[in-house]
Amino acid sequence: MTEMSDVLVVGAGMAGASAAWALSALGSVRLLEQEDRPGYHTTGRSAALFTETYGNSVIRRLTSAGRAFFKDPPDGFAAHPLLSPRGTLLIARADQTAALERVLAETPAGSPAPQHLSGAEACALNPALAPDYVAAALYEPDAEDIDVDALHQGFLRGLKARGGTLSTRAEIRSLARKNGLWIAETPAGRFAAPVLVNAAGAWADAVAGLTEIAPIGLVPKRRTAFTFAPSEGVDPASWPATIDVEEQFYFKPEAGLILGSPADETPSPPCDAQPEELDVAIGVDRIETATVLQVRRIAHKWAGLRSFVADKTPVVGFDPAAEGFFWLAGQGGYGIQTAPALAQTVASLIETGDLPSDQRAAGITAADLSPERLTASAP
């Protein structure tokens, strides 16, 4: 028996869950997840920030477009606020100050401009920093920690409340277009809909590969993280998240510990990513070089995949050569903070063919996100 819906969404991580929630206001939605629970891969391994100084100009505009949702989600969406105060400090050595100026120059209109700080002022905000390391910094006081699980579960509950359905252990084994429908064969059943949204994260090109649809050149990249205890008597709770301006490392408070990362981007096949000891060691070395911290023992370590296309901008839109096949992929490390905006992007593009009015007003265009841009730029 084939189960019918208006839209199939492939992948129940943050991208797929949020898109399915938004689309469920328009019609019936079936959300398919290959694992036995949603969010097992990248979403469940993310320690996300809401920051408007992170990513390229399109990413930053999408992030800003989602601020209202994070601040005031729908009634019943979450039991407590999705954001909590943190602040973000982008730090630069003397040889990196030009990179700080570029970040400042690219601040989207209407977004709060980060504060330009001296090295001494940066060290006053985060006393873990080594005074002889930091030459200058940008401080974004409005950056906040995101409760990733609350956000993800809110979308899943909202989908269910609107009549949408989640099927787990539903890896797509075959996919074909017949009689105006996408038909997906999975261990959980046979599902069909006129529109299929490919939100499969690191597996998005593999899903397209089940058909004759050309890949978008998605490259999953491993990102390593670890936690460690601060020195005795040191309380990091009030420190801002501190990020090297060229993304060579970052660290932030995390439930009484300190979370660190070498900000690695190692190409990887789609898989259940695991941390490499060398990457952990590189992260520890970079953090110890930039700070007065000493990492005596790793409490926990993990890795996840962040998937990019060449221009590091998400791919959102109908495939130009495959009727009803909609891409939602390539969010990179920005998928959590852009999820509310991109969910509305997906729903608006499918319903009207254009972006929501607030995103157009912010200077984002459908062409910025369309998969056609990748074909146009190919050699």
| Mean pLDDT of the 228-234 span | 91
Question: Mind listing the pLDDT tens digit for each residue in 267-290?
Answer: 999 999 999 999 999 999 999 999
Instruction: Among 110-119, 174-183, 216-225, name the one with the lowest average pLDDT.
Output: 110-119
Question: Mind listing the pLDDT tens digit for each residue in 38-83?
Answer: 988 888 788 789 998 888 889 999 999 999 999 999 999 999 999 9
Strands (E), 67-194: 83-85, 88-92, 115-118, 136-140, 144-146, 165-167, 174-178, 181-186, 189-193
Rg (CA), the chain: 21
**Distance, CA of 157 to CA of 21 (rounded, Å):** 9
| Mean pLDDT of the 119-130 span | 97
HSE toward the beta carbon, residue 189, CA cutoff 13 A: 15
Per DSSP, what are the bridge partners of residue 253?
258
| Mean pLDDT of the 238-246 span | 96
Mean pLDDT of the chain: 94
**Three-class secondary structure of residue 224 per DSSP:** strand
User: Are 268 and 223 contacting, i.e. CB atoms less than 8 angstroms apart?
Assistant: no
* Residue found under tokens 């100050």: 97
Which pLDDT belongs to residue 54? Answer: 81
Question: Mind listing the pLDDT tens digit for each residue in 89-103?
Answer: 999 999 999 999 988
Selection from 314, 295, 301, 251 nearest residue 273 by Cα: 301
Per-residue pLDDT at 248 exceeds 70:
yes
Band the pLDDT of 379: cuts 50, 70, 90. Answer: very low
Selection from 24, 43, 47 nearest residue 251 by Cα: 47
